[in-house]
Structure 1
Amino acid sequence: MIPTNDLLLFAGAALLMVLTPGPNMIYLISRSICQGRKAGVVSLFGVIAGFLVHMLAAAIGLTALLLAVPLAYEVLRWAGAAYLLWLAWQALGPGARSLFEPRQLPPDSTTRLFVMGFLTNALNPKIAVFYLSVFPQFVSPERGSLFLQSITLGGTQIMVSFSVNLLVALFAAGMASWFARNPAWLVLQRWVMGFVLAALAVRLALEQRRA
């Protein structure tokens, strides 16, 4: 199985990923602020269901297939870099808003909250890029079943993501209120987020394909 040190390193990478603002975090924060904590938590369970789709896809070998086809890997790598640059532009461009600025969204039913959370994550290219670029670095045929190794990695990533996003869903309204009283921090948060996303995009674009 996967050595403990490698698993901890992977958990650290998963933590960095979940702390990088993307569609999941934007949706959870918006729902929690507009419709309350319960709506945020229901949406989070939908997001977790989306993670299961990505995890199973990686576990059954889709990641290995894409890595075996240079063109597919390159397309996804550049698409991921472009996506991160777009997120950076959303943070820094004209009319940009912080994640914690309240957004007006109409109330949704519990079922719709779950489904929208699921679709937001299942169709999230950030997750696909993470699984594609990081999973292969932590699995090895010498350690036994690749399927079980992938499930272990996926389960670890899901637990990290659930823990962080649960805190986001529960305390988004409080954080939004604090930022509303301290508007200068909203600007700083946007610029820090924008530069981090741009740096990640450059790093992904310059990343060499693993043999």
Structure 2
Amino acid sequence: MTASMLFGAFLAALLYVLIPGPAFLALLGIGAGQGGKAGALFLGGHLAGDLVWSTLALVAIVGAKTIGTLVFDVLGLFCGVYLAWIGWSALTARRRTEGEAMVTVERPLRRGLIFGLTNPKGYPVALATFTALLASSSNALEFKALPTLLGASFCGFLIADVILVSIIGAGLVRRFYRRHELAIVRASGLLFMGFAVQAVWHAAPGLFGWRKS
């Protein structure tokens, strides 16, 4: 287990939560309409989904490594393409209709739990993000490292949740986000494109026979 692997898992979990997406937008709506407590409950429920999808992603990544580097390289290539697609969608996003009403959530904890476990993008985004950030350490990935990697990921999730809870519900944040929503989404698209390049960069040598044995 190397420090770069732990940091990669931690950073992947942190960015998985912080990068704007469906859950981020749902949290913003709940925090803006019902305050930080409701937002924290939503995140508490959503954490279960984060852990499930990150666990499955890490199992898939480590499993691909034990099967062979070719599987991992193909996985990395597909993840890079998927990240590029997400990034391009964000970069070409258009401004939404103004004046959309905030929806009041009676049980934000339950809503977060359901949202986290049923989000169809949860697994592929987790898989793509973790693959991009752990690809450089693929040769050292083993199943015995899973508990430690999950521990680092859990720390990343918690810190990201604390960051979000500390800022949601503030009038200044709400106004800033609404004013610059399109720019924020496109900036996240650039970040996804960067991850895509990294994933393909690490996958290409193995796929095209450039990697030294």
What RMSD in Å do the two structures reach over aligned CA positions? 3.7
Aligned partners of 1:12 and 1:102: how far apart in 2?
33
> Contact (CA 8 Å) 1:80, 1:129: kept in 2 or not?
yes
Relative to the length of structure 2, the TM-score reads 0.68
Structure 2 contact 10–154 (Cα < 8 Å) conserved:
no
Query: Is 2:203 aligned against 1:208?
Result: yes
Q: Tell me which residue corresponds to 2:19.
A: 20
**Offset at residue 134 of structure 1 (A):** 4.1
Aligned residue in 1 for 2:86: 86
Distance in structure 1 (CA, Å) of the matches to 2:92 and 2:101: 18
1:29, 1:169 within 8 Å by CA — same for their partners in 2? no
Query: Following the alignment from structure 1 to structure 2, what is the Cα–Cα distance between the partners of residues 37 and 89?
Result: 30
Distance 1:78 1:96, change over 3 A: farther
- Residues 114 and 204 of structure 1, relative CA distance in 2, 3 Å threshold: same
**Structure 1 unmatched ranges of 5 or more:** none
- Give the letter aligned to residue 63 of structure 1: I
Match of 1:131 in 2: 130
Offset from partner CA, 1:30-61 (integer Å, 9 cap, x none): 332233322321221222212332354366x4
Identity across the alignment (%): 17
Cα shift at 1:127: 0.8
Residue 197 (1) aligns with residue 192 (2): yes
| Conserved? CA contact 1:32–1:39, under 8 Å | yes
What runs of 5+ residues in structure 2 fail to find an aligned partner? none
Query: Match of 1:104, as an amino acid?
Result: M
The one-letter amino acid of 1:171's match is: I
Using a 3 Å threshold, how does the CA distance of structure 1 residues 203 and 84 change in structure 2: closer, same or farther?
same
Using structure 1 for the length normalisation, give the TM-score.
0.68
Partner amino acid, structure 2, of 1:95: R
Partner in structure 1 of residue 95 of structure 2:
95
Please show how residues 145-184 of structure 1 align to structure 2 within 5 Å: 146-174=142-170, 175-180=173-178, 183=179
- Amino acid of the residue matched to residue 194 of structure 1? G
Whether contact under 8 Å (1:77, 1:204) holds in the other structure is yes
Give the whole-Å Cα distance in 1 for the aligned partners of 2:189 and 2:133.
22
Write the distance in 2 (CA, Å) between the matches of 1:122 and 1:193.
16
- 2:156 corresponds to which letter in structure 1? V
- Structure 1: distance between partners of 2:6 and 2:50: 18
Change (3 A) 1:17 1:116: closer
- Pair 1:64-2:59 in alignment: no
Could you tell me which residue of structure 2 aligns to residue 52 of structure 1?
Answer: 51
- In structure 2, how many angstroms separate the alpha carbons of the residues matched to 1:42 and 1:121? 21
Q: Kindly provide the CA deviation profile for residues 124-181 of structure 1, in whole angstroms up to 9, marking residues without a partner as x.
A: 421122334545626737xxxx44421111111221122122221342222113445x
Per-residue CA deviation, residues 89-112 of structure 1 (Å, 9 max, x unaligned), is 245323358xxx976334242423
What is the DSSP-based 3-state SS (H/G/I as helix, E as strand, rest coil) of the residue aligned with 1:105?
A: coil
Matched residue, 1:37? 36
